[in-house]
A and B are shown apart, each in its own frame.
Chain A
Amino acid sequence: MSIIKTNDVKKWFGDFQALKGISMEVQEGEVLVICGPSGSGKSTFIRCINRLEQHQEGEIIVDGIELTNDLKNIEAIRSEVGMVFQSFNLFPHLTVLQNVTLAPIWVRKKSRSESEEKAMELLTRVGIPEQASKFPGQLSGGQQQRVAIARALAMEPKIMLFDEPTSALDPEMIKEVLDAMKELALSGMTMIVVTHEMGFAKEVADRVMLFDEGLMVEENTPTEFFDNPQNDRTKLFLSQIL
């Protein structure tokens, strides 16, 4: 059963058309990696899925709910979809634990003790339970990104979106974040990952897509995508990146 379905999604920023009609489906439990050169619309596309950007044409259906201007639908979808950003976007005035418990307490209306227990569980899962009482500013980039993953997971989402989660990290910190993501993928989470980490794509992804100039130019299994690319654009991209 497809949990995300998009049909001919188009989006303009002023005169510039960022998305020129994207149609795709994601199955439950699937890990989808989207790659492509910068400006190809891949970030814009996943930001449309939880309405951080508004698409102008086409339809996006997440878990049976269509994204429209209806605030109720948007809130419902946002609580189903977790997101991890390139620049972490942790709340600097709250401790790590407060960052993770904020949404369960205020959005899900769970009790504080229950949320904190769950938060510690999640922080253990991403490997940083000992940092719970620190502020984000006191953590390294890799640790911050893992807190961001825990924060998104605290809402118990069905889908996780990753918008270039490792691009702002020092090379030696990338691995710890990717490990946390791999562990998440193995646990059966539906994931859409925008990334340039081809190693991650090869190892974990069920499907890989290439975006270019607002269009999806290739969609394939990782083995096919890397070993036997069909499109000339894919070949060019892979030759530059590998």
Chain B
Amino acid sequence: MNLEFKKSIAWMRENLFSSIPSSILTVATSFFVLGFFRGLFGFAMASDKDWLSVLNNMQLYMVQAYPEEDFIRVWISVGLALVFAGMSIGLWKSTEESSLSEVFSKFLRVSLAFLFFTVVAPTFSSVTDNDGIIQTEESFPMETRLQLLIPSAILVVVFFVLKNLKLNYKFNKSDLLCFYLAIPIVLMWIIKLPTIQLDSSNQRIFPDPLMPIADTTKTPWTIIFGLFLAFYFIGSRFKDSKNIKRTMSISWVLLPLFIFSWIFKKPEIDLPTILGQDIPIFIGIFLIGALTITFINNPVVEKYFSIYLGVLIAITGIALFISIPILLKSALLLLVLFTIVIPAVSSSTKGKRNLIIVWGVSLFTLSVLIRGGSSDTQIIVQQQSIFGGFSLTWLLAIFGTYVSFPLGVLLALGRNSKLPIVRLVCTGIIELTRSVPYITWLFFASVTMAVFLPEGVNFELVVRVLMVTAFFSGAYFAENIRGGLQSIPKGQYEAADAIGMSPFQKTSLIVMPQALRAIIPTLVSSAITAFKDSSLVTIIGLIDFLTIGKVIIGTQSIPVNFVGHDRENLLFIAFFYWIFTFTLSRRSMKVEKRLGLGER
């Protein structure tokens, strides 16, 4: 113990107080940090803050005006995502282990944070009363502090001792993750929170009575967590199956599409259209593709293949501009893309069979998604969009990244292309998009875009915003990726050429993987920027997560008065955004580390 103490003194002397300037800096920054936390705690605890304005409005924050009778759809969406997450965590189960003392050191850190709070929190904080006069009040009396100090000090001591027992039981890190997730679920059934209750004359009862969390919140979460665990175990059973892993990765890509076009949207399906239109289109296009795959090695087909492809491209090009069902247009487009790769992929009988399966599944998925996406929704809300609050933020963030990333890759490749027209067009798109502020593009989406669309074509505002977002962040992605492409040494291209790879193989197998790996940090920061920038849609009248806290809640006055409580809501919003972006950047650091394995 004594030795340890000496060690820490030595550490402090070396790292914190090594010279007079560094001592000054250490002290100054410590004061700054302390002051920051004192201010934060004081702000949060002042009696004029009504944190129930946040807690009571969770539903509004998450889904805004989504009708309550269809909430099951929201829960199914969340549930699906978490089931997928459970399955994936199981499939890619970590092989690392943590010892029990590492677990205790985590708990120690949490209790230290709690102790820090009880020690640092200021006794007095300033409060603005109804007349706008700032006063000082005692918001954290000494008795309360002592009552909290003793248990938190005990917790710290207990966990410190437990940690230093050096218990060497090992736990798998993925198992531990599930254990940590279980903690809030269990707490949900135990703790009671202050809740807004109204008396008979519709007045709020003060002080707010402590009530258990509503069943409509904790039951779904518990069920979802149960499913999460179940699929975690299923996933860990199949962790050696490459096929299931591959299917899982593709499912992740399809999941948001499926959620937003079917579950969240509740599309209005009419059977005659499906029977009379969708199914014939599916069968027809599927047969064309399947026949091409089957007979591709036939000498006659091989001879006329390029003519066939040319005709197909021409038909698709025309089809895009005439008014036929959107499913037919998309299916034709998919057919063209597929036909282009057929000669490269299908050489053996087995390869052909697999390709036909892939073709069928992807065409079917496309048909299902298009039917859901292009049908009207049965969800009626007073506002223009069924997406509001966090569901809108999420939609913009996911789909913004989703469409803009591949677009960025294409634009970057196009800008580096040898074909002058392609290069010119791609450079033009990139420069045009980047040279105009994002807000201008948003106004373009809300006001001007209708002028540019052909007559009769009209997209929802959210879709128009998604389109400009895709281009806007796509252009930034493209420039980042181009930077990555330039970092690839010339020798890599030459080596790929020398072993006879085609330009497509060279790009997809050699150049792109290396270029993308080199720019993961920039890509993640672009994705984070897209996530945060989605809050700008508020200026064209969409109601996102931030707008709810800043604008909507501040105007609620019946039956509970939350006017003027936007500051605590803003703090909550900042914290909420921080959790997501921080997690994302942490994950990306891990991915980077893992991929950096083979680097010099």
Q: Residues on A close to B: CB < 8 A?
A: 50-52, 75, 78-79, 81-83, 85, 87, 89-95, 102-103, 106-107, 109, 135-138, 151-152, 154-155
CB-CB under 8 A from A91, the residues of chain B are 492, 495-496, 510, 514
Question: A93-B517, A136-B598 in contact; A107/B491 too (CB < 8 A)?
Answer: no
B347 near A: Cβ within 8 Å?
yes
CB-based contact A102/B599 at 8 Å:
no
CB-CB under 8 A from A83, the residues of chain B are 495, 498
Which of B347, B498, B502, B598 interacts with A92 by CB under 8 Å? B598
Question: A92-B514, A93-B514, A102-B509 in contact; A75/B502 too (CB < 8 A)?
Answer: yes
Which of B499, B509, B595, B599 interacts with A78 by CB under 8 Å? B499
Q: Top 8 A-B pairs ranked by shortest CB distance?
A: A135-B598, A89-B495, A89-B491, A103-B499, A137-B600, A79-B500, A83-B498, A78-B500
CB-CB under 8 A from A92, the residues of chain B are 514, 598-600
Which of B505, B513, B517, B599 interacts with A107 by CB under 8 Å? B505
CB-CB under 8 A from A81, the residues of chain B are 498
CB-based contact A93/B502 at 8 Å:
no
CB-based contact B597/A103 at 8 Å:
no
Q: How far is the CA of A92 from the CA of B518 in the complex (A)?
A: 12
CB-CB under 8 A from B510, the residues of chain A are 91
Max chain A Cβ within 10 angstroms of own Cβ: one of B499, B501, B510, B598: B499
CB-CB under 8 A from B492, the residues of chain A are 89, 91
CB-based contact B497/A52 at 8 Å:
yes
> Looking across the interface, which residue of chain B has its beta carbon closest to that of A81?
B498
CB-based contact B497/A78 at 8 Å:
yes
Known interface pairs A102-B509, A155-B500; 6 further A-B residue pairs with C-beta atoms within 8 A, sorted by A's residue number: A89-B494, A89-B495, A92-B514, A94-B598, A106-B509, A138-B598
CB-CB under 8 A from A50, the residues of chain B are 497-498
CB-based contact A107/B501 at 8 Å:
yes
CB-CB under 8 A from B494, the residues of chain A are 52, 85, 89
CB-CB under 8 A from A151, the residues of chain B are 499
Interface of A: prevailing SS: loop
Q: What's the least CB distance linking A159 to chain B, in Å?
A: 12
Interface of B: prevailing SS: helix
Q: What's the least CB distance linking A83 to chain B, in Å?
A: 4
Question: A92-B598, A92-B600, A137-B600 in contact; A103/B500 too (CB < 8 A)?
Answer: yes
CB-based contact A93/B505 at 8 Å:
no
Q: How far is the CA of A152 from the CA of B492 in the complex (A)?
A: 14
CB-CB under 8 A from B514, the residues of chain A are 91-93
CB-based contact A75/B500 at 8 Å:
yes
CB-based contact A155/B598 at 8 Å:
no
Q: How far is the CA of A1 from the CA of B485 in the complex (A)?
A: 43
Q: What's the least CB distance linking B591 to chain A, in Å?
A: 14
> Looking across the interface, which residue of chain B has its beta carbon closest to that of A84?
B498
CB-based contact B498/A135 at 8 Å:
no
Q: How far is the CA of A51 from the CA of B595 in the complex (A)?
A: 33
Q: How far is the CA of A40 from the CA of B562 in the complex (A)?
A: 83
CB-CB under 8 A from A89, the residues of chain B are 489, 491-492, 494-495
Q: How far is the CA of A107 from the CA of B136 in the complex (A)?
A: 77
A-B contact pairs, 30 of them (CB 8 A): A50-B497, A52-B498, A83-B498, A85-B491, A85-B498, A90-B495, A92-B598, A92-B599, A92-B600, A93-B517, A93-B595, A93-B598, A95-B598, A102-B499, A102-B509, A106-B501, A106-B505, A106-B509, A107-B500, A135-B597, A135-B598, A135-B599, A137-B599, A137-B600, A138-B598, A151-B499, A152-B498, A152-B499, A154-B499, A155-B499
Q: What's the least CB distance linking B529 to chain A, in Å?
A: 26
Q: What's the least CB distance linking B488 to chain A, in Å?
A: 10
CB-CB under 8 A from A135, the residues of chain B are 597-599
Q: What's the least CB distance linking A48 to chain B, in Å?
A: 13
Q: What's the least CB distance linking A32 to chain B, in Å?
A: 18
Return the CB mask of B484-526 against A: 1 if under 8 Å, else 0.
Answer: 0000010110111111111001000110011001000000000
CB-CB under 8 A from A154, the residues of chain B are 499
Which of B347, B495, B509, B598 interacts with A109 by CB under 8 Å? B347
Q: How far is the CA of A138 from the CA of B597 in the complex (A)?
A: 9
Q: How far is the CA of A136 from the CA of B499 in the complex (A)?
A: 17
Q: What's the least CB distance linking B156 to chain A, in Å?
A: 44
CB-CB under 8 A from B513, the residues of chain A are 93
> Looking across the interface, which residue of chain B has its beta carbon closest to that of A47?
B494
Which of B347, B498, B501, B597 interacts with A82 by CB under 8 Å? B498
